[in-house]
Amino acid sequence: MSIGAGQFKPYFLRQEKTSSGKQQFTERSIANEFFNIDRVLGAWIEGNLAEERIFYALTITNGFDSINRPFDEIDAVPGYAAKLDWNILGAYGYSESDASWSGEPSLVAGLSYGYDAQDRSGRAPDEPKLQVHVFGLDAGFKWKGFSLQAEYMGRLVDIDRYTSGANRFARPADRDAVFSHGFYVQAGIFVVPKELELRGRMSAVFNDEGSLRSDGWESGIGCTYYISGHNLKIASDVMWVDIGPRFPNPTEDLDEAPGAGFDLPLLESPSQGLRLCVQFQLDF
């Protein structure tokens, strides 16, 4: 068991916690980018149980995306995050692709939960008053160069008070909570052991945000040439991305002005088109 405090990225969504240097694609999925809570300021406790079959992590924070922010912009309500992993077949870890060509299969199932609230303490009086619940369910499998990973995510925003001109949650007249959900599924297989991997991914976000209801899709393929595992590799992928208009803010930016919106590298809301990425990675 370990305990610590400071500025850090908490264990929450599996893909968000996975280091950018150990990702399967050049960018994380649009679902991850929408639902992640980014880095936080707070404290954590984490450890393993049942001969390392069970991993747990608990975090208390100053709120989602709370690092490097002026003190008077942080309200008095703490945020929380938790992660629980069940390593069903040996240690799975936080690394995408089976670049090591594992001789034994590994299988993991996990769940994530996060909570934050805005009570307007330390904020302008016209800021929205919200309670946010966000969760993730994930699973992954690796064996002999094949990998499959998927994650389902959801977010419930309970609106206690809002000003229609000050935030993006123009809630329907018959309810005071809005729900969004999404997923990604990605797979890869090495056609040359430990060297050349072919891969594909599909991801989507579905929003029920009243007048701001809008969906986003991503799908595509790619390949990676591993010179020395994830430490030295050349990767490329081409993705079809369709981000609808009036797309609401991602979870980490719920307190931002409407103009913050949702954006990806090379694409913003609304956008539709192909995104080609090429990456050379040297990690040491």
pTM of the model: 0.88
Tens-digit pLDDT profile for residues 153-166: 999 988 765 544 44
Q: Between 144 and 78, whose confidence is greater?
A: 144
Indicate whether 15 pLDDT > 60: yes
How far apart (Å, rounded) are the C-alpha atoms in residues 126 and 110? 38
The pLDDT, as a whole number, for residue 212 is 58
How far apart (Å, rounded) are the C-alpha atoms in residues 243 and 245? 7
Number of domains in the chain: 1
Take residue 13 and report the two structure tokens written for it: 């969504």
- Domain range for 8 is 2-282
Percent of the chain with pLDDT over 90: 58
Mean of per-residue pLDDT scores for the chain? 85
How far apart (Å, rounded) are the C-alpha atoms in residues 204 and 191? 28
C-beta neighbour count of 268 within 10 angstroms = 12
Cβ atoms 106, 143 nearer than 8 A: yes
Find the CATH number of the domain harbouring 222. 2.40.160.10
Tens-digit pLDDT profile for residues 163-198: 444 444 555 555 567 889 999 999 999 999 999 999
